[in-house]
Amino acid sequence: MDLRQHIEEELNKDFQLLKEYENEKRNENDPGLRNKLENRIQSIKQVIEKRQEELNKLPKSSPNSSSNQSFSQDLGFGVKLEMVYIPGGTFYMGAPKTEKDSLDYERPQHYVTVKPFYMGKYTITQEQWEKVVYSCPPVARELNSRPAYFPGDKLPVERVSWNDAVEFCARLEKKTGQKYRLPSEAEWEYACRAGSAKPFAFGDTITTNVVNYNGNYTYGNAPKGEYRGRTTPVGTFQPNAFGLYDMHGNVWEWCADTWHNNYEGAPNDGSAWISETNQNARLLRGGSWDHYPGNCRSAYRYSNLLAYSSNFIGFRVVCSGAART
C-alpha cells in the first residue's frame, strides 16, 4: 500500500467517525452531552484537515486534455467524480418560435462555437459534496455538509445556492489542482443537446420513463406519467449522446451567467455572459422533478437570486473550457 492509499484509508475512518458523532449529536437532547460531542466533532475535523494537507502535498494526477478522453477525479474516501469529454463544435442556440411552449427570452436563435471541455457525467451527488466540504477548508464561505432535503449518497445534492456552488468549485479546485467551475449557459445547452436540434436531446418529447419531472403534465403527444415527488439517484435514466445523465429534469442546474431577457448581444464563443449592472440573478437550466416537461426543454431558461436554494436546485461542474468570468 502506497502513502496516498494509507492516508485515504485513515481519512475514510476519520470521516466515518465524524458521521457517527454528528448523528449522535443530532439525536442527543442533553446539552452537556451535546457539548461533549461537539468537541469531538471539532477535534476529528482538525485531524481530517491535517490528513488532507498531507494528501495535498503528494503529487497530483491531471487529465490530459489532448487525449480527448473522459477521466475520473479521485476525491478520496473511495468517491470519484466522473468527467466526460465534450468535443468542441458549433450549434444553434435557443428555440424557434415554432417550438411548443418556447418563449421570447430563448431567442433570437444564434450560432455559438464552443471549445472542448469536460463536464460532470452526473450532477454533484451528496457524497461528493460531503467529501469535498469536509476535506477542504473554506475558500470564501462556510458550507453546510448536508444541505439536501432528500438524503442519499447517490442522490443529487440540492438546497444549494449559486454562491454555495461557486464555493464548492473553488474548494474542488484547491483540493485537486484542476480548474473547476460552473458551466456557461452556452456550454450547458450545447452539452444538453448533444447534437440534437429538437426540444429535447431524446427528440420531440419526453416521458417519465426517461426523465424525472412532474408526470401529471405532458408535452407534445406524450402521455401522462409518474410524478415521483422527489429526486432520483443520478444515472437512473438513459444518458444523452455525449454520455451525460439527467440533463433534463431531476434538479435544476446553476450556470455561471447572469440573467438577460433575451440573446440580443450574447457572445458567440461559448463564454459566460456576465452583466455589468445586474449580477444578482443567475441562470438555471434543465428543469426538475417538480416542474413541467416543457421546463425541461434544452432551450428553456430560468433564473434565481445568488443566495436562493431549494430542494429542486443542484448543479454540475465543468473543467477547463471557454467561459469568461
| 134 closest CA partner among 50, 216, 210 | 50
Q: 65-319 belongs to which homologous superfamily?
A: paralog of FGE (formylglycine-generating enzyme) (3.90.1580.10)
Average pLDDT for 226-237: 98
Cα distance between residue 272 and residue 255, in whole Å? 8
Cα distance between residue 185 and residue 323, in whole Å? 9
pLDDT band at residue 62 under the 50/70/90 scheme: very low
Q: What is the pLDDT of residue 262?
A: 97
Q: How many CA atoms lie within 13 A of 78 on its CB side?
A: 7
Give the number of other Cβ atoms within 10 Å of residue 116's Cβ: 15
Q: What is the pLDDT of residue 65?
A: 40
pLDDT in tens, 253-280: 999 999 999 999 999 999 999 998 889 9
pLDDT in tens, 25-53: 989 899 999 999 999 988 988 888 787 77
Q: Show me where the domains of the chain are located.
A: 3-57, 65-319
Hey, what's the torsion of the CAs at 101, 105, 110, 116, to 10 degrees? Answer: -90
| Structure-model confidence comparison of residues 84 and 65, the more confident one | 84
Q: What is the pLDDT of residue 3?
A: 74
Cα distance between residue 284 and residue 286, in whole Å? 7
